[in-house]
Amino acid sequence: MKHDHSLIGEHAIKPMEILLVEDGWTDARVTIYAVRRSQVHHRLTLVRSVSEAISFLRQEGIFARAPRPDLLLLDMMLPDGTGLDVLQFLSEAQEADFDLPRITTVVLTASNDANLRVQCQDLCVSDFMNKPVREADFMRVIRDHKRLMVHTTPVLAGA
């Protein structure tokens, strides 16, 4: 059977580009599962350190062809620094480089540290999700950031 690909193109919905920065395999798998269960049309890239996240965002090295993420899911405790290092890089890059659009950033944390939350908010964090990430929490973030709703499946577009 021949497939008609003429409908792909102008009617295709661009997937939400998600960058997950998480060094723990268990937390990464739980988060990926929650994102998949949400039925949001997406493409997810997992990196496991501050240096990989910054290379991805700069589109350097093996990430030279990396897409610009629409959503950054960011763990705070990483092997070569903290999520605050990534947030600081983003803040400085967005001030210096007008080609880097604002990225909706969600911190993944098991901590209730009020000081950490203030630091993150000062660096333009959009939201926080408690670890382990649950599908309902992910959907709340998507609903709170309606500009991302264009990436959802038609069933969820009305959610």
Which pLDDT tens digit goes with each residue over 70-118? 999 999 999 999 999 999 999 888 777 656 667 889 999 888 888 988 9
Residue 72 pLDDT: 95
Which pLDDT tens digit goes with each residue over 116-141? 889 998 888 989 998 989 888 888 88
Contact (CB, 8 A) for 159 and 140: no
Among 7-11, 17-21, 119-123, which range has the highest average pLDDT? 17-21
pTM, entire model: 0.82
Is residue 156 scored above 80 in pLDDT?
Answer: no
Cβ atoms within 10 Å, residue 49: 17
Is residue 152 scored above 60 in pLDDT?
Answer: no
- Which SS3 state, helix, strand or coil, does residue 40 take? strand
* Of the candidates 96, 38, 26, 5, the residue with the CA atom closest to the CA atom of residue 18: 38
What percent of the chain is predicted at pLDDT more than 90? 44
Query: Could you give all domains of the chain from N- to C-terminal order, each with its CATH number?
Result: 15-134+142-150 (3.40.50.2300)
